[in-house]
Chain A
C-alpha cells in the first residue's frame, strides 16, 4: 500500500523524461533531445560583436545574426551541415591530437565520474566520455569506414540540427578544465574536444556573448572590460592612492614606459573588480618594496585571453599583442600576474603560435639573479614563481602576523595547476605569509576541482548551472571550513576570484576569496610606512 503511494509521489512530481529533471531515462542517450530553458544556456553573442570580430584581419566569425537557443529555428545558414563537416575534416588534418582523441578512446569510463558538471548535475552527457562522443559519433559517421557502412551500429550518428543543439548545450557545460584528462589512461583531453566543438559552432555563427564581447573588447582596447588607456591608468592610480591611504607610502606606477626592464601584465579584472583589486594593490606594494624597474601597459592591459575559448586564430591574435607591446617598449622580459588561462595559452600554445620570443631575454630576477630557464622560450614568468624565489632568498620583509585575521585554504586553479604545473610555488608563499590548510587530497593539485565557471561561463544568466558545477569545489571548502575554521579561499586566477566569490556566497557564505599577492602585499613591511592597525588587511576601510 505504502509502496504504491511512493510510486504515485514519484509520478506526480516527475514530468517529461528530460535530462536531470528527476525522470528515469527510457531512451538511449543519443535519442534524448536537449531542451533549452532560461538559466541553462548563456546568451548568444550580439550580432554587432560577431560582425566586428569577423571584420578583423585573420579572424573568421561568419554568419552573424540574431538568434535564440529557445527558438526552434536557429536561422542557420542553408549549407550549415556542409560547413560543419568540412570544418571538422579540415581540423582533423590540421590537429593531429584531434584525430588521435577521436580514434583511441576505449570507453573504459575512467573519466566518466571526474567532471564537476557531471558530479553537480547527474546528467550523463556531462560525463567527459559522452561529451567527446557528441563529436566522435559524427566523426565516425562521416570519416570512418565502419561508420560509413554501419552507421549507428558502429556508434555513428548523422549530423542533424538536434546534434548541433546538443553540441551547443554541452560544449558550454564544459570549462575545459582538463580534470578528466588526468584520469584517462590515454591522456585524452576532452577540453580539446570541447574547443573543437566551439570552433565548429562559430563557423555557423553560434557563440555566446560573454565570450565574444570580451574577445572583441580585448582586440580593440586591449582588455576584456573595454577600458580605454586613460581609464585603465586612472584605475591603477586609484589603487596606488588606496595603498598610500593604508600604508602612508606613495607609489607612482608608470605606464607604457620604454626601456623599463620588465613589462607587467595581469587580468584587467584585477584593476577593476573586487576582490581582484586587493590583489592588484598587493602587486603595487610588492614591486614598490623591491624598487622594481617595471611598467604597466595600457595596450597590453589584459592577461586573460578569451580567444582560447573561441578559436585558434583569435587566441593567437590576442596572445600576440602582449609580445608586440613587450617588443615596442623594449623590455627584457614579462612578469605575468595571477591569471589562469593566460598561463595555459603561454605554456601550451604560445610557442607554436607566436614564439619563440627571441627579441626578449630569458627572465632573470634582478634581485636574486635566478634565471628562470623554464621560461627560456616564452620569456614570461608567473608572479608566484617570481615571489617564491624572492622569499627563498630572503628578499622580502614579511610580517605574517598581519594576516592573523585570515585562516586560508588554497584552490589550485585548473590552468596553473594542470596546464602549467604551478603547484608548489603558491604553497611555499602561503607558508610564509599566512596560516593555512589544504583541502582533501582528491580535490587539490592535479586533481583540483574547477570553480565551475571557467572558459567564459562566468556570466550571471547561468548562475544555477554555475552553482551546480561548482559544487565539488565548494563541498571541499565546506569541509575545511567546518574542520579548521577556514575563512578565506586563496587562488592565483582572476576568473576564480570573481566566480569563487559567488560560489562561496551561495555554498559557504562565511568564506571570502583572495589572491595570493593580496596576502603577500598585506604582510610586506614597507620602508617608511606609517601603517596603523589594519584589522582586515588591505581590505580595511580607512577614512
Chain B
C-alpha cells in the first residue's frame, strides 16, 4: 500500500502540494475537529474540550493525545500495528463507558469524513480528495484493530471480576456461617 501512496503523492495535482504535505499542513485543523467530534459523544463535552490539564481532565487529555498520535501515523501511512498503543488507550476508556460497541468505535471513522471535508473546502487541496484511498484504507484498518481492542478490554473486565471474586471476598456474601448464624438469631428471638 505504501508504494501506491508514494506513487500517488509523487504526482502532484497541479496544486503544488502532495497529499502527505496537505495532511501535514492541515493536521491541527483535522485533529481538532476529530477531537471535538469524539468528545461530542459525551454529555460534558464542553468541559472535556476546554480543560487543558490532562490530570484534571483525563478523558479530554487521553482522547486528544491519542488521536494526535493516530493521525500522524495515518498521515504517514504507518503499519497498522503501530496504532495499537494510542488506540488501546482510547478503547480502554470507551469500553467501560456507557457506549454500545458501535458507539465506542464510531468516532475513529469520523476522521475519514473530516479529512475529506477539510481538503475539499480549500481550493489548494481540493483535487487531492480523490487520492485519499490509501489514507482511508488505513483508517479502516485502525477501526478493525479498535474492535479487537474493545473486546480485549471487555474480556479484561470479566477477568478482573472473576479475580476479585476469587481473591476471597466472596466469603462476604456466600459463606455458610453468617446465614446459619442468622437462623440462630431468629430462633432466639422467637
**Could you list which residues of chain A lie within 8 angstroms of chain B, going by C-beta atoms?**
1-3, 5-6, 9-10, 12-15, 18-22, 24-25, 37, 40, 48, 52, 55, 112-113, 118-124, 209-210, 213-214, 216-217, 220-221, 224-228, 269, 272-274, 440, 442-443, 460, 463-464, 467-468, 471-472, 475-476, 479, 498, 502, 505-507
Contact = CB atoms under 8 A, between A and B. Distances in A.
Dominant SS at the A interface?
helix
B4 interface: no
Interface stretch (B7-15, B73-81, B164-172): B164-172
Interface of B: 37, 40-45, 47-48, 51, 53-59, 61-62, 92-93, 96-100, 102-103, 106, 109-110, 112-114, 116-117, 120, 153, 156-157, 159-161, 163-165, 167-169, 171-173, 175, 177-179, 181-182, 185, 189
Contacts of B103: 13-14, 21-22
B47 A113 contact: yes
A238 to B, nearest CB: 13
Contacts of B160: 463, 502, 505-506
A471 B93 contact: yes
A20 B55 contact: no
Contacts, number: 168
Contacts of B161: 460, 463
B32 to A, nearest CB: 14
Nearest to A7: B113
Contacts of B120: 1-2
A2 B116 CA distance: 7
B44 A475 contact: no
B39 to A, nearest CB: 9
* 10 A-B pairs with the lowest CB-CB distances in the bound complex, closest first: A122-B42, A22-B41, A226-B178, A122-B44, A475-B58, A2-B117, A2-B116, A2-B113, A467-B96, A464-B96
A119 B114 contact: no
Contact of B189 (A12, A55, A479, A498): A55
A475 B62 contact: yes
B98 A20 contact: yes
A475 to B, nearest CB: 4
Given A6-B117, A120-B58, A221-B177, 11 more contacts: A13-B106, A20-B42, A119-B59, A217-B172, A224-B172, A272-B171, A463-B161, A464-B96, A476-B55, A479-B55, A506-B156
A465 B172 CA distance: 21
Contacts of A471: 58-59, 93
Nearest to A18: B98
Given A209-B173, A228-B177, A506-B160, A20 B43 contact: yes
A22 B99 contact: yes
B116 A464 contact: no
B98 A21 contact: yes
Contacts of A123: 43-44
A61 to B, nearest CB: 14
A269 B164 CA distance: 13
A463 to B, nearest CB: 5
Given A226-B177, A464-B157, A476-B55, A274 B167 contact: yes
Contact of B58 (A3, A217, A472): A472
Chain B CB count within 10 A is highest, among A24, A52, A460, for A460
B100 A13 contact: yes
Nearest to B156: A506
Contacts of B169: 269, 273, 498
B34 to A, nearest CB: 11
Nearest to A441: B55
